[in-house]
Structure 1
Amino acid sequence: MRTSELDYELDESLIAVRPAEPRESARLMVVRRSDPQRVEHARIADLPDVLASGDVLVFNRTRVLPARFEGRNLDTQGRVEGLWLRDGVGCDGLAWEALVRARRFRPGRRLELTTCAARASGVILTLVEKMSADGAWLVRVDDPQARTTPEILEEVGRTPIPPYIRGARKRAGLEVSDELDRAAYQTVFAREGGDEPVQGSVAAPTAGLHFTPALLERIGARGVDRAEVTLHVGAGTFKPIETERVEEHPMHAEWCALGDAAWVMQSDRRVVAVGSTSARTLETFAARAEEGQSVSGWVSTELLITPGYRWRRVDGLLTNFHLPRSTLLAMVAAFVPGGIERLLELYRIAMDKRYRFYSYGDAMLILP
């Protein structure tokens, strides 16, 4: 598939800069693989009436960490911004792998992180080794209080709102508090990590943001069951496809696990994945099961789904409207009959009806 096929133009006013309030008031486009020309327009709150008794909704229970940080370069006093990616190895004590954006960085530079109130935190990052051309560094973390990564990020971290939302807000002159984002950019079913390869995500599983406890209760009363998997979303989810062909894109790796949802692999019930991350987790483990491999424990997945992919376990998909030239758009194109051509027709319908796009935006439900 040519990457250029994933291009489309979007009126910037359709980029959602705030979540729907209440969450379930977000709009919902409903399409069916068995009847691709049929398009219905509803609300997330209508899901109990749209889903069928016996369906299984599969959610991603990952927790978004306040992974974005700010600080100052102790050598130049210049402002620094970065993103925690994961804990690193190769240093005495605590180390991070982090995206750090500032000029003329070299090993040995020291950065002091600031709190959300713009006060010095006492946490010092020392650059050890550049790990990639996109600004990823291995850094040593010196904290006077010897805290864990989640404890440090709780004090100094900001919500990792996607750059396109922050940019749209800035151009609109809109200021939104981190306190609001910290609550809104987290699913109501997010769980604290335990003994896991990474502590959490740097981006939300956005389709899950639409749900409230009351809506989940109504869905359950309809006879729809619920299962939870985990995929910790990495920064690669925002990386556009830059290769000429989609299949040549170096897919980022993310940790995932079925956990208590392993039963879904053997179930003959209709499975609706809530979001691309739930879908990738299910399909990763379905492929492993097909090959006779274990479906327990944690697995690092680099699954790239493009048109022509043979779906193994996902029957339906709830997903937001995605960015051009993204692996997420390619995945949805692989699920819709008619591929990218039909999907972009649906996107044009959504634009004409003023649906809101991207992470805080509206959603599409693709049923069998």
Structure 2
Amino acid sequence: MDVKDFYYELPPELIAQDPLEDRSSSRLIVLHKETGELEHRKFCSILDYLKPGDCLVLNNTRVIPARLFGEREGTKGKVEILLLKRRENDIWETLVKPGKKARPGTKILFGGGILTGEVLEIAEEGNRLIQFTYEGVFEAVLDRLGQMPLPPYITHQLQDKNRYQTVYAKYDGSAAAPTAGLHFTPELLEEIRQKGVSIAEVTLHVGLGTFRPVKADQVEEHHMHSEFYQIDEKAAELINETKQRGGRVICVGTTSCRTIESAAQRLQKEKRPGEAVQAGSGWTDIFIYPGYQFQVMDALITNFHLPESTLVMLVSAFAGREQVMHAYETAVQERYRFFSFGDAMFIL
């Protein structure tokens, strides 16, 4: 399968640079995947498409202020670090700019020495393993020194860093937001509950691997980076009960989708009938592209994704490549806002 099959033209001015004042006032394109019909609505009208007995699956990860600016000890050369993945004993896998001078043994000072990092080794794709030392609680130090790691296509400064968090974010660990969830307000979620829709919270800490460009010419040759996920007993029970009584499991975002589909694959390997997912945690590098058979997800709320990205491929696996490409072309014609702070799509 050719990666170019997932390309579309996007005028740069349609890339949303700032979040809307009201999260739920973004636009919503509804794609009925059986017929290909498209509807144009506001996000708050998502209520019209939800039914009692449905289960909404949210990813409750929190984005950490993972971008740090420091200087090399001795030379005072400027260094930018992006925290990617937490290892043990305050060791992180990081992306360092400029990378060439970040050799093993290099020490980097942040905030005048409030935080110190030492490069231990060079990992895959040139990433650096860095050991951090500090006083107090790492999260508090990071909150003081770090900046939100906004994607490179967003050039505006974010005025309120909470706008790059979902209102239900709980557990620190992501290098990027699960952006489909940014459209929900506490009020909208309460209305959804009142309608008889259950809400299951899962966790997948989003790494940058999800957003890295596909460099292979053929889709099948691309390899995903692993990300940590967790499903607790309550969420597993809600999802399993919904499937058993014939309700729909509706994922908010590709990360929620990848979490429950990973859990379903794990369950299949253990050959446990009668359950859709099982509570548990682990690392997943699941790559969903056309031809994949979905085990659990029945509908998907998602944002618009970059051309030729693994996320466009996932959406195409669910709704069909031609229908998704047509929906994207329509969204461009209708001047929808794209990517992290952009508008949304509901595929049902």
Q: TM-score, normalised by structure 1?
A: 0.88
CA distance in 1, matches of 2:61, 2:158: 24
Kept in 1: contact 2:55–2:242 (CA 8 A): no
**Residue of structure 2 in register with 1:7 after alignment:** 7
Aligned length: 337
**Residue of structure 2 in register with 1:220 after alignment:** 193
Q: Please, which of 107, 110, 134 is the counterpart of residue 107 of structure 2? A: 110
Q: Which amino acid aligns with 1:128?
A: L
Kept in 1: contact 2:166–2:181 (CA 8 A): yes
Deviation at residue 96 of structure 1 after TM alignment: 2.0
Helix, strand or coil for the counterpart of 2:270? coil
**Residue of structure 1 in register with 2:309 after alignment:** 326
**Residue of structure 2 in register with 1:335 after alignment:** 318
CA distance in 2, matches of 1:151, 1:163: 25
CA distance in 1, matches of 2:90, 2:256: 31
CA distance in 2, matches of 1:140, 1:289: 36
CA distance in 1, matches of 2:90, 2:313: 37
**Residue of structure 2 in register with 1:195 after alignment:** none
Q: Which amino acid aligns with 2:158?
A: V
Q: Which amino acid aligns with 1:222?
A: K
CA distance in 1, matches of 2:170, 2:114: 29
Mapping for residues 95-244 of structure 1, pairs under 5 Å? 95-102=91-98, 103-114=100-111, 120-133=112-125, 135-143=126-134, 145=135, 147-166=136-155, 169=156, 175-177=157-159, 180=160, 182-192=161-171, 199-244=172-217
Deviation at residue 50 of structure 1 after TM alignment: 2.1
Runs (4+) of structure 1 exceeding 4 A deviation are none
Helix, strand or coil for the counterpart of 2:242? coil
Q: Which amino acid aligns with 2:133?
A: D
Q: Please, which of 256, 260, 280 is the counterpart of residue 297 of structure 1? A: 280
Deviation at residue 320 of structure 1 after TM alignment: 0.2
Deviation at residue 185 of structure 1 after TM alignment: 0.6
CA distance in 2, matches of 1:277, 1:293: 24
Q: Which amino acid aligns with 2:289?
A: T
Is the counterpart of residue 64 in structure 1 residue 63 in structure 2?
A: yes
Is the counterpart of residue 94 in structure 1 residue 90 in structure 2?
A: yes
Kept in 2: contact 1:113–1:121 (CA 8 A): yes
CA distance in 1, matches of 2:264, 2:90: 36
Deviation at residue 311 of structure 1 after TM alignment: 0.8
Deviation at residue 293 of structure 1 after TM alignment: 5.7
**Identity score, percent:** 43
CA distance in 2, matches of 1:158, 1:251: 26
Q: Please, which of 256, 262, 265 is the counterpart of residue 240 of structure 2? A: 265
Kept in 2: contact 1:265–1:313 (CA 8 A): no
CA distance in 2, matches of 1:219, 1:140: 44
**Residue of structure 2 in register with 1:361 after alignment:** 342
CA distance in 2, matches of 1:109, 1:301: 31
CA distance in 1, matches of 2:293, 2:240: 16
**Residue of structure 2 in register with 1:288 after alignment:** 266
Deviation at residue 122 of structure 1 after TM alignment: 2.4
Q: Which amino acid aligns with 1:261?
A: A
Deviation at residue 121 of structure 1 after TM alignment: 4.7
Q: Which amino acid aligns with 1:225?
A: S
**Residue of structure 2 in register with 1:18 after alignment:** 18
CA distance in 2, matches of 1:288, 1:132: 26
Structure 2: 5+ residue runs without aligned partners? 273-277
Q: Which amino acid aligns with 1:208?
A: G
CA distance in 1, matches of 2:108, 2:307: 35
Structure 1: 5+ residue runs without aligned partners? 115-119, 170-174, 193-198
Q: Which amino acid aligns with 1:305?
A: I
1:187/1:176 CA distance change after superposition, 3 Å: closer
Kept in 1: contact 2:262–2:286 (CA 8 A): yes
When the two chains are superposed, the root-mean-square deviation of aligned CA atoms in Å is 1.6
